[in-house]
Chains A and B, each alone.
Chain A
Amino acid sequence: MVQGTKVRVVFVFSCTLCPAPCALIIIYMKIFFKHKLALSGALIILLMNVLAIFAPLLSSTHPEDIDVGSYLLPPCLAHPLGTDQLGRDLFARLAYGARISLMVGFIAVGISVSIGLLFGALSGYYGGAVDLLIMRFVDIMLCFPTFFLILAVVSMLESNIVVIMAVIGLTSWMGVARLVRAEILSLKQRDFVSAAKASGVSDCKIILRHLVPNAMGPVFVSATLGIAAAILTESSLSFLGIGIQPPVPSWGNILMDAKSCLGIAWWMTLFPGMLIFITVLGYNFLGEGLRDLLLRREQEG
């Protein structure tokens, strides 16, 4: 019952936001809210974003403030998740770290999806030599062991958050490009594209208005899964000490700090580890849910 009313509130809210495609949104929402997996994924992600956005309100201290004398405190009232070996509040560090980790995930995927869409659309629509060139470039990019490429690039350049987002984005667009190409190859055979061509619509408009919007479903799915992967990559980089540089917190470098006192301070490993795990799980749930949802839509329509 409670869930039913909540669903209705969301409907009303979405309807007031954008009245025009309201009907479509309601259909999607209904299916979405019935899908437990997708819903739980979305809730986890929402929770993490709330944690990140309201980090200053939720935590009593600044993540870089040192509480002198209280090193390696286990969870207590003053420090709900304990402190690290420098006496910094772990909850504050995790909350601020969420900002970095989620932002890296989001923007890196934004970059990879943009590049993937561009190359995939060109390759799929024009075919021939363009297709051959782009797809062989994709093959070459896929041959690099991505993680080591990122390691090499990051250790050559100065390691800051912009470089990390760019490098993760630039090395993960190939999957999206292939996906978009495959979608567009099948879409461009459809009658509505022929109709547009026969009406004299320019190639550019056909790609932007007719092909790309219809290819977005699978792209959303892969983007959602991609965010999970990007968060993991960032954490791994920071864990190895070449990602986000301390004292700025990220989930990965908090884990790295925890490594040195693994035996004596369980809270330092458990909480950031759980956060990464739950967030990645949330994105994967949402991705899987979206896949079910969009596939079903396509079969129905």
Chain B
Amino acid sequence: MAILRLVNISKSYENKARVFSAKVRKVEAVKSVSFSIKQGETLGLVGESGCGKSTLSKLIVKLLQPDSGDIFFKNINITQLKEKKFRSLRRKIQIVFQDPYASLSPRLKVKEIIAEPLSAFNYEKQYILKRIQEIITQVGLNSGHLEAFPHQLSGGQRQRVGIARALTSFPELVILDEPVSSLDLSTQAQILNLLVSLQNIYKLTYLFISHDLSVVRCMSDRVAVMYRGTIVEQAEASQIYEWPVHPYTKKLLLSKCWLRTAQK
């Protein structure tokens, strides 16, 4: 069963070309994108920067409203839902952001940050306390970190806190918006392993967004390639790396090879 289904989603931003001109420049960030994610699988979404990946993730968690098209979460059309009704569903769709330095509130302690998805819904204090103790050890930190402020943690630790926040409310779908691209290589591997083990514990469904093909390859069951706001190719992970069909995918894979040979 598809947990998430996007049908012809489009979103454009309007920019005034100049201060006094009436001309409006339309930037189409996402152009009629359709795909679906099955329960428990990981869909990798790759594309160069500026191709609309992050816009897409924001559309799914309803931080943005699409211009047209529908998003179905477990067969509920969430594009039509009013914020009031959608609020209870927000627990089930969580997001991990790219930059762990910008995504944690600097004046809040780690425990307050992690508890937020629960405390927003007036859960019992006792329950929240138990839950954050549990989740903090699951993401590889210890309860001593709960009293810390984000600026006292390293980049990798902050991203762990970001992951913990996304998982406190037992989500079913987690959108990973370039979760490792601002970390160094050794930390990247640790975080990726953590994500895989958490997926097994919680039976999570991931939408893994990245521009790094090798990272996507080791994470995803299926891969969608995005280019200029549209999805140009979508296939099983092994297939797309062995037999890319679309010229853009070929180019993307080739550029990776070029880098490798240049390094040698």
Which chain B residue has the least Cβ–Cβ distance from A20?
B147
Question: Is B107 interfacial (CB-CB < 8 Å)?
Answer: yes
By size class, the interface of chain A is 20 to 34
**Best-surrounded residue of B98, B105, B108, B165 (most CB of chain A within 10 A):** B105
Q: Is the CB of A214 within 8 A of B107?
A: yes
Tell me if A191 and B102 are in contact (CB < 8 A).
Answer: yes
Inter-chain contact B106/A191, CB cutoff 8 Å? no
Query: Is B106's CB under 8 angstroms from A214's CB?
Result: yes
Cα of A201 to Cα of B113 in the assembled complex, Å: 12
| Inter-chain contact B152/A198, CB cutoff 8 Å | no
CB <8 Å contact, A198 and B102: no
A24 — nearest CB in chain B belongs to which residue? B149
Report B52-64 CB contacts with A as 1/0, cut-off 8 Å: 0000001001110
From A21, A23, A201, residue with most partner B Cβ within 10 Å: A201
Please tell me if the beta carbons of B151 and A301 are within 8 angstroms of each other in the complex: yes
Asked whether A210 lies within 8 Å of B105 as measured between CB atoms, the reply is yes
- CB-CB under 8 A from B99, the residues of chain A are 191
Q: Is the interface of A mostly helix, strand, loop or mixed?
A: helix
Q: Could you give, for residues 84-116 of chain B, a 1 whenever the CB lies within 8 Å of some chain A CB and a 0 otherwise?
A: 000110110111011100111111100010001
**Residue of A199, A201, A202, A205 with most partner-chain B CB within 10 A:** A199
Interface positions of B from 159 to 195, Cβ below 8 Å from A: 162, 165, 169
Q: Which residues in B have their C-beta under 8 angstroms from that of A194?
A: 58, 63, 95, 97, 103
Per the bound structure, the CA–CA distance linking A190 and B149 in Å amounts to: 18
Report the bound CA distance from A211 to B88 in whole Å: 23
Contacts of A197 in B (CB 8 A): 63
Q: Are B94 and A199 in contact (CB under 8 A)?
A: yes
**A199 interface neighbour in B90, B102, B152, Cβ under 8 Å:** B90
Residues of the A chain whose Cβ atoms lie less than 8 Å from the Cβ of B102: 190-192
Given contacts A191-B99, A202-B120, contact A196 B105 (CB under 8 A): yes
**Could you tell me if B90 and A205 are in contact, using CB atoms closer than 8 angstroms?**
no
Minimum CB–CB distance from A121 to chain B (whole Å) comes to 15
Q: How far is the CB of B175 from the nearest CB of chain A, in Å?
A: 9
Which of A20, A191, A198, A210 meets B94, CB within 8 Å?
A: A198
> Is A195 positioned at the interface, with any CB of B under 8 Å from its CB?
yes
In the assembled complex, the CB of A201 is this many whole angstroms from the nearest CB of chain B, namely: 4
B121 within 8 A of A: yes
- A20 to B93: give the CA distance in the assembly, Å: 33
**Which of A21, A200, A209 has the most B CB atoms < 10 Å from its CB?**
A200
Q: Collect the chain B residues with CB atoms within 8 Å of residue A190's CB.
A: 102-103
**In the complex, which residues 9-44 of chain B have their Cβ closer than 8 Å to any Cβ of chain A?**
none
- Asked whether B66 is an interface residue with its Cβ less than 8 Å from the other chain, the reply is no
Q: Given A23-B152, A191-B99, A200 and B107 touching (CB < 8 A)?
A: no
Q: Which residues of A contact B97 (CB under 8 A)?
A: 191, 194-195
Binding site for A on B (CB under 8 A): 58, 61-63, 87-88, 90-91, 93-95, 97-99, 102-108, 112, 116-117, 120-121, 147, 149, 151-152, 162, 165, 169
Q: List 15 A-B contacts (CB under 8 A).
A: A191-B99, A191-B102, A194-B58, A195-B103, A197-B63, A198-B61, A198-B62, A198-B63, A198-B95, A199-B116, A199-B117, A200-B90, A200-B120, A214-B107, A301-B106
Interface residues of A (CB under 8 A from B): 20-21, 23-24, 190-192, 194-202, 205, 209-210, 213-214, 301
Q: Which 7 A-B pairs have the closest CB atoms?
A: A200-B90, A191-B103, A199-B117, A213-B107, A191-B102, A201-B120, A192-B105
